[in-house]
Amino acid sequence: MTARVSPYLSFDGNAREAMGFYQSVFGGGLQITTFGDLPTSTAEAPDDLVAHAVLKGTTGIVLMGSDRTPGDRTPGGTTSITLGGDDEAELVEYWERLSASGVSTVPLARSSWGTRYGRCVDRFGTDWLVNISAPTS
């Protein structure tokens, strides 16, 4: 079996909205389990908060996430997600969707290492790096 790394994102009560947004970007199936869906209830979180969500995008991208429970303020802001490959059309489309309602911190353009590269923070605060290795026309 091959080992895989999948980002796990934490949200402040808007995990359902964020994961739905990522589904609109990457397509695929989204499964959401709330704290109310769990067999045992927890006093730490309201039943409608997301306990676990997994998005399996149409091209193999997997993102997971959940809402933070009250009092869970694990330090963050040190993680970025990199999207890379040689399918320029696909990656440009992802870039456009992710950056449209966020902030482009490095515009998608030819980089000094010869590929197209850009960086943005989406409307949920997730930092994305996009590196397109296909030659541009």
Domain that holds residue 124: 80-132
* 73 occurs within a structural domain: no
Mean pLDDT, range 79-106, rounded to an integer: 92
* 3 occurs within a structural domain: no
* 128 occurs within a structural domain: yes
Q: Which range among 21-25, 33-37, 47-51, 68-72 has the greatest average pLDDT?
A: 21-25
Q: What is the pTM of this model?
A: 0.81
pLDDT more than 70, % of the chain: 84
CATH of the domain at 96: 3.10.180.10
Clarify whether residues 59 and 94 are in a common domain.
no
Structural domain total, the chain: 2
Lowest mean pLDDT, pick from 10-24, 71-85, 105-119: 71-85
Clarify whether residues 87 and 52 are in a common domain.
no
* 87 occurs within a structural domain: yes
The order of strands in the sheet holding 80-85 is 80-85, 127-132, 116-121, 103-110
122, 99 Cβ separation under 8 angstroms: yes
